[in-house]
Amino acid sequence: MSVLVTGGAGYIGSHMVQALVEAGENVVVIDNLSTGFSAFLPEGVPLFIGDAADENLVEGVIAQHKVESIIHFAGSIVVPDSMRDPLGYYRNNTMTTRNLLNAAVKCGVERFIFSSTAAVYGNPDQVPVPEHAPTRPLSPYGSSKLMTEIMLHDVASAHNMNYVVLRYFNVAGADPQARIGLATVGATHLLKIAVEAATGQRAKIDVFGTDYPTPDGSCIRDFIHVSDLAQAHRAALDYLRSGGSSATLNCGYGRGYSVLETIEAVRRVCGRNFAVQHAARRPGDIMTMVADTSRIRSVLDWTPQYEDLDTIARHALAWEEKLFRERHGELEQAVSA
């Protein structure tokens, strides 16, 4: 029996695959490598390069590898891109999951874990945000994930399938051993930008908005270490395997750090200074986004290990330094060839 991880060569998916392999699970990956890297997969993990929307491919993989659970990461995740290309997002997120679920149901897969997002809440009335808060996504990205949540709920009601939806808050950091991390070129995430500045790849970092009614004027986010997030999925898998009923869970730590505090943490761990520029608010940004984590902590057997912001920053930085050295090396090789 094995676990199918879609998007397993991507940032979060590859941490998931690593965690599963380390736990002795059989894992198989489907990834179209549009943003993932096959080199991120541990040796021996079968990779099928293709689309999670390709039902023939998925059915073949499920049959060949006796897939008993699916953890579904594949999808598009850039909010501004979703504004420009909503139909692309409904295709890559909602329609892809529809096809994947169709194959899963046909083949009798009983467990499904889905990557959702705090973006389903839109602008919350209440912080920390509980799962029962109204869902009012502000972008096609958030809507495409919410539509998938609804679909999953209906599919599980009609068929022999239980699911866990994990609504991620701000995922950050990298593998503590720096084997894998966020390698997407042009990523826009705060910590990624900060470590790019810390490694001299950017002249500065802009702080989008310092006039919010928060203690230091910048936005507040609930950063969760990617390895803890992967462990939350493992705990969700254990929960479903032991007969747990379908559940939708916030996935964060339940504490917020401001943008300025986060940049300060990167400065602290790198021991170098880099330019920080106060800039205008970024349109669409939510002021404070922090998870109410009481449900995940009571439902899953999950104990986060890397809650400390400096640890998240240190791991993100170590990975960025490694990535930079590797890419720089490749560049030098290309130039000298």
Question: Active-site residue numbers?
Answer: 141
Of 72, 111, 167, 221, the residue at the interface with ligand UDP (CB under 6 A) is 221
- Residue 255 touches ligand UDP, criterion: CB under 6 A: no
- Residue 81 touches ligand UDP, criterion: CB under 6 A: no
- Report H helices in the chain: 11-22, 55-65, 79-84, 86-89, 96-107, 140-158, 190-198, 226-241, 259-270, 294-299, 309-336
Q: Are 165 and 287 in contact (CB under 8 A)?
A: no
| Least distance between ligand UDP and beta carbon 282 (Å) | 4
- Residue 76 touches ligand UDP, criterion: CB under 6 A: no
Q: Look up residue 284 and give its amino acid.
A: G
Binding segment for ligand UDP among 11-19, 136-144, 178-186, 205-213 (CB under 6 A)?
A: 205-213
Which helix (H) or strand (E) segment holds residue 247: the answer is: strand 247-251
- Residue 189 touches ligand UDP, criterion: CB under 6 A: yes
Asked whether the CA dihedral 172, 168, 31, 244 is positive or negative, the reply is: positive
Cα end-to-end span (Å), the chain:
46
The nearer residue to ligand UDP, 189 or 233, going by C-beta atoms, is 189
- Residue 282 touches ligand UDP, criterion: CB under 6 A: yes
- Residue 285 touches ligand UDP, criterion: CB under 6 A: yes
- Residue 59 touches ligand UDP, criterion: CB under 6 A: no
Q: Are 314 and 176 in contact (CB under 8 A)?
A: no
- Residue 144 touches ligand UDP, criterion: CB under 6 A: no
- Residue 193 touches ligand UDP, criterion: CB under 6 A: yes
- Residue 197 touches ligand UDP, criterion: CB under 6 A: no
Site size toward ligand UDP, by CB under 6 A: 14
- Residue 198 touches ligand UDP, criterion: CB under 6 A: no
The separation between CA 156 and the C-alpha centre of its own chain, rounded to angstroms, equals 23
Binding segment for ligand UDP among 2-10, 61-69, 187-195, 270-278 (CB under 6 A)?
A: 187-195
3-state secondary structure of 102: helix
Asked whether the CA dihedral 187, 190, 196, 202 is positive or negative, the reply is: positive
- Neighbouring-strand partners of residue 224: 171
Q: Which of 329, 212, 311 is nearest to 262 (CA)?
A: 311
The nearer residue to ligand UDP, 230 or 276, going by C-beta atoms, is 276
The nearer residue to ligand UDP, 2 or 170, going by C-beta atoms, is 170
Q: Are 254 and 290 in contact (CB under 8 A)?
A: yes
| Least distance between ligand UDP and beta carbon 170 (Å) | 5
The nearer residue to ligand UDP, 221 or 314, going by C-beta atoms, is 221
The nearer residue to ligand UDP, 100 or 224, going by C-beta atoms, is 224
- What is the number of the residue whose Cβ is closest to ligand UDP? 219
- Residue 278 touches ligand UDP, criterion: CB under 6 A: no
Distance CA 180, CA 326 (A): 12
- Residue 208 touches ligand UDP, criterion: CB under 6 A: yes
Looking only at residues 19 through 38 of this chain, which bind ligand UDP when binding is defined by CB under 6 A? none
Q: Are 317 and 270 in contact (CB under 8 A)?
A: yes
- Residue 177 touches ligand UDP, criterion: CB under 6 A: no
Q: Are 66 and 110 in contact (CB under 8 A)?
A: no
Of 62, 190, 266, 269, the residue at the interface with ligand UDP (CB under 6 A) is 190
Q: Which of 119, 81, 93 is nearest to 222 (CA)?
A: 119
- Residue 270 touches ligand UDP, criterion: CB under 6 A: no
The residues binding ligand UDP (CB under 6 A) are: 170, 188-190, 193, 205-208, 219, 221, 259, 282, 285
